[in-house]
Structure 1
Amino acid sequence: MGGIDILLVTYNRPEYVRLSLPRLLDTATADTRVWVWHNGTDAETLAAVQAYRDRLHRFHHDPANPGLREPTNWLWREAGGDYLSKVDDDCLEQPGWLETLRRAHEQVPQFGVIGAWRFPEEDLDPELAARKLADYPHGHRLLRNHWVQGSGYLLKRAVLEQVGPLRPEESFTRWCLRTARAGWINGWYHPFIREDHMDDPRSPNTIYHTDADLRARPPLSARAVGASTIADWTEQMTHSARIVQAASLDLDDYYGWKLRRYNLGRRLRRALTGRAPW
């Protein structure tokens, strides 16, 4: 079939879907097929999706809200594109993002999962980033990392064919690490392609302006790290940016005894501070 297949997973935030779905459709290439998996029973969000139903390649509604793993594997299993992608309903991609990422994939066969950068300029640490910037043929450059976020990426079908789908309980991060172990090069395209992550309180399109807003509809990641105020959640975003810029490119650090040592330290920090570092 060729082309690009992209999945948008929607849930209960119609304010975001009314921005993210038309943006995704408008930035799609002529050979892009947009799939939507709608989780939950929120009528307003469902209506925001249905307004664009005639422009969608496939639509699936699951009131049970199984999360992200099942929808991702659905796309990966049933789509026929040469390239596969997912965009979350709280993200806006920069115009031209697909053209840039596909051109990079076409010209650098070793690229596996490459994507857009979601952090504001203030979160960039030039010294940390410089250590991981790498140049490739035809003028392409990546901020290397063995994983990217599960939104705004583009991957080759050949990657999926080699390593298989997400395993039960496997995160997208761990899946990306498997692709890196298989020899694929992952990271963020540079100069950065921007992704507006609207869940970040610094986004001009965020729905989180007060602590009450955050407590009323906390993002899943905010609940996971115990962030209940705008200040805490913003700090976590900044910390996440630093984590990925500082993350090791030594794959051994993510497996075996090194991983066990890291996880022990992570659990200890969580016990002492009530916070997870990432």
Structure 2
Amino acid sequence: MTAVTDVLMITYNSAERVRISLPHLLSTCDEHTRVWLWHNGDDEETLAAVEEHAHDARVHRFHHSRENVRLTAPTNWLWAEADGTYVSKVDDDCLPEAGWIERLRDMHEANPDFGAVGCWRFLDEDFIPALATPKIQTFRDGHQLLRNHWVQGSGYLLPLSMVRTQGLLQTGQSFTQYCVALARAGAVNGWAYPFIHEDNLDDPRSPRTLFASDADLLKRLPLTAQALGIRTVADWAQQEHESAIAVQKASLDLREYSGWRAKRRGLRRRTEHLLRGRGSW
């Protein structure tokens, strides 16, 4: 019997994105996949774009929160109430390639110790073999991962059993921190390799980007860009590339993510942001 996968999409204030991403997500779902929709806010155009698909046979649950509760509450809604084998989330600005669910599911079925295994949201030009190759490992049935202790919170597959053991997201806990906690408990995280691509509409280098100009970016500034003080498309494109480099360079030594080593890494990041003029203490 094929395992059931429950996939969450959270939508907010961008009908333009939803009209692209939601039909795309539904098109990638097989008969063993259920989509959970959570809409934040009362933007009528976006809500209408979601409701157009709310009765699709592939949509399992739909929830409308008039308040923008961001990401934690919807994620915990799925994790607490799902009863399938795997859970996932696809952002409303992301387009995972066809077959992503089946391939990730096959990897998990062959490797029960796999935790958060994801699609790769960066571009070919972001892949640096000298950095990535030492972190690419082969597992049972020949499945390969570019290992990392965390992946992005979109286009991943995670066993629900691990969520039951680890618990829900805590207040203030990011998905990155949750993934690191899973790794400490023995889960193997990373990106499927060869990569399963996920087109990110928020990446200005994507041919389908919604950020054709600085004005477009400022209208829908991503949370990470806000935190880094980014205000131009050029700076955001550079940041996307730097993010890809960072995860390929990231250590697999879990000691690096706690205690004085973690504090040192945080200080270095803040210093780099200051030197770029992208933040303050």
TM-score (norm 1): 0.96
Opposite residue 164 of structure 1, the aligned amino acid is G
Q: Structure 1, residues 164-193: CA drift from partner, whole Å, max 9, x if none?
A: 111110000000000000000000000100
* Deviation of the 1:12 alpha carbon: 1.2
Tell me the SS of whatever aligns to 2:39.
strand
Tell me the SS of whatever aligns to 1:117.
coil
Task: Show the 5 A alignment for 1:56-95.
Answer: 56-95=59-98
Aligned equivalents of 2:38, 2:25: Cα separation in 1: 14
Structure 2 match to 1:258: 261
Greater shift after overlay, 15-24 or 241-250?
Answer: 15-24
Q: Structure 1, residues 68-99: CA drift from partner, whole Å, max 9, x if none?
A: 11110110001111100000000001000000
* Deviation of the 1:212 alpha carbon: 1.2
Structure 2 match to 1:162: 165
* Deviation of the 1:10 alpha carbon: 0.5
Opposite residue 263 of structure 1, the aligned amino acid is G
Structure 1 match to 2:223: 220
Unaligned runs of 5+ in 2: none
Tell me the SS of whatever aligns to 1:57.
strand
RMSD (Å), alpha carbons: 1.3
For residue 211 of structure 2, the aligned residue among 196, 208, 212 is 208
Aligned equivalents of 1:94, 1:9: Cα separation in 2: 19
Aligned equivalents of 2:194, 2:267: Cα separation in 1: 36
Tell me the SS of whatever aligns to 2:8.
strand
Structure 1 match to 2:43: 42
Aligned equivalents of 1:12, 1:205: Cα separation in 2: 19
Opposite residue 252 of structure 1, the aligned amino acid is R
For residue 122 of structure 1, the aligned residue among 109, 120, 125 is 125
Tell me the SS of whatever aligns to 2:226.
helix
Question: Does the aligned pair in 2 maintain the 1:2–1:80 contact within 8 Å?
Answer: no
Structure 2 match to 1:12: 13
* Deviation of the 1:260 alpha carbon: 1.4
Structure 2 match to 1:3: 4
Opposite residue 198 of structure 1, the aligned amino acid is L
Task: Show the 5 A alignment for 1:123-138.
Answer: 123-138=126-141
Aligned equivalents of 1:262, 1:114: Cα separation in 2: 24
Aligned equivalents of 1:196, 1:128: Cα separation in 2: 22
Tell me the SS of whatever aligns to 2:189.
strand
* Deviation of the 1:53 alpha carbon: 1.3
Aligned length: 276
Tell me the SS of whatever aligns to 1:84.
strand
Aligned equivalents of 1:89, 1:272: Cα separation in 2: 32
TM-score (norm 2): 0.95
Tell me the SS of whatever aligns to 1:9.
strand
Greater shift after overlay, 205-214 or 91-100?
Answer: 205-214
* Deviation of the 1:261 alpha carbon: 1.6
* Deviation of the 1:27 alpha carbon: 0.6
Tell me the SS of whatever aligns to 2:90.
strand
Unaligned runs of 5+ in 1: none
* Deviation of the 1:2 alpha carbon: 5.3
* Deviation of the 1:272 alpha carbon: 3.9
Opposite residue 250 of structure 1, the aligned amino acid is D
* Deviation of the 1:127 alpha carbon: 0.8
Opposite residue 3 of structure 1, the aligned amino acid is V
